Each structure stands twice: as structure tokens, then as C-alpha cells.
Amino acid sequence: MNPFRTPPTSADREKASRSDSHLEEPKRADDGFNPYRRLILILHLCILPCLIPIFVVGALIMFGNKGQPRNMGVTFTLSMAAKSLIFIQYEVLTAHVQRLKRYGGVKAYMILNCIDAALWPGAVGFLVQRLVSRGCTGKNCTYTYVVIAAAAVLAVLSAPCAFITVRNFRYFKRTGIVPE
């Protein structure tokens, strides 16, 4: 302890405790209405049924075709669908469950949705490129077409989610208020 320094008063200690702004919760909008929050929930609820065919086809290829080699493109999109399912679960639960709201963040939502918006068109391109270059026969061809269709729908639906979350993040950075 420095003997030439006066000890802090209780007012100084209180002021120092208030300066820990990084520990405070971010401000929330009081109006309670954000049309984009409802739209992003609707988009997420539309994405979830599109993941089902990918999971079904992935399970059929992994467990159903004992004699045939696994289709790498469908296995790739199966892991992509699992990633999207985890991302959507995180976003929906942290946005709508009161006990989990502290784990959510505008920046995290933006990053996750931008990853989805970038990777689903890449998955469609990868599947189409493999289909054109190698061709396909039998059941795997049908499975690949189903997965390409579902991945194309997911690519279209994930783009508005990314746009909305980037917009919300920019609003948060500009005003300091989390759009609800």
C-alpha cells in the first residue's frame, strides 16, 4: 500500500464499481415490438422442416446401403444439417427462454447466421459439382437430388436470416440497445 496516497472513500469505491461497464447487461429496447424478431423466428421454423429430409437421407445412406459405398456429398450435407440444427437451437432458446437469455448475443447470432448463409450455397455447389463430374446411378442418385433440393431451399432461407441479424448487430453498435 502506498503511504502517500489517501485511501479511497466509499463514494470513490461506488464510482469504481459503476465503471465496470463490461460487466453490465446491455440495454434492451422497451417498446417490445420488433417485426424482425418474429420474421427470424418464422424463418427458423421454416428451416427446421427442410433439415428433416437431409437427416433421413443421411441415415438411409449410412445404414441402408450395406453393399454400396457412402455418398460423400450427402454425408457432408448431413454434418451441415447437424450444424444448422445446433445453431438454430442456440438462437431460438437464447432468444426466447428467459433463463438462457444471458448466453445469447447479437454478435453471436450474426456470426452463426452468416456462417449458415455462406455454407449452404457452398454445399449446393459442391453437390451439383460432384453430381456433374462423377454422375450417379441407383438410389444414391435420387438421394442426392433430394439433398440438393433441400440444401437449395436452406440456402435461400438462410440469407434473410443473415441479413436481419447483421442489421440488428449494426443497430446495436450504433445505439447500444439490443433489438428485441
Give residue-wise pLDDT tens across range 21-68.
555 555 665 555 566 888 898 999 999 999 998 888 888 877 776 766
| Listed range (46-55, 72-81, 106-115, 133-142) with the worst mean pLDDT | 133-142
State residue 96's pLDDT score. Answer: 86
**Displacement of CA 24 from its chain's centroid (Å):** 25
Which cell numbers hold the place of 53?
429430409
CA separation for the pair 177, 28 (Å, rounded): 5
Query: Residue 116 to residues 77, 157, 162: CA-CA distances in angstroms?
Result: 12, 10, 8
**pLDDT band with cut points at 50, 70 and 90 for residue 140:** confident
φ/ψ of residue 178, rounded to 5: -75, 120
| pLDDT-above-70 percentage for the chain | 76
pLDDT, average across residues 67-77: 72
If one counts every other C-beta atom within 10 angstroms of the C-beta of residue 160, the result is: 15
DSSP state of 141: H
State residue 16's pLDDT score. Answer: 59
pLDDT, average across residues 72-92: 88
Global pTM? 0.75
**pLDDT band with cut points at 50, 70 and 90 for residue 170:** very high
**126 vs 7, more confident:** 126
State residue 86's pLDDT score. Answer: 95
Nearest-Å Rg of the Cα atoms of the chain is 23
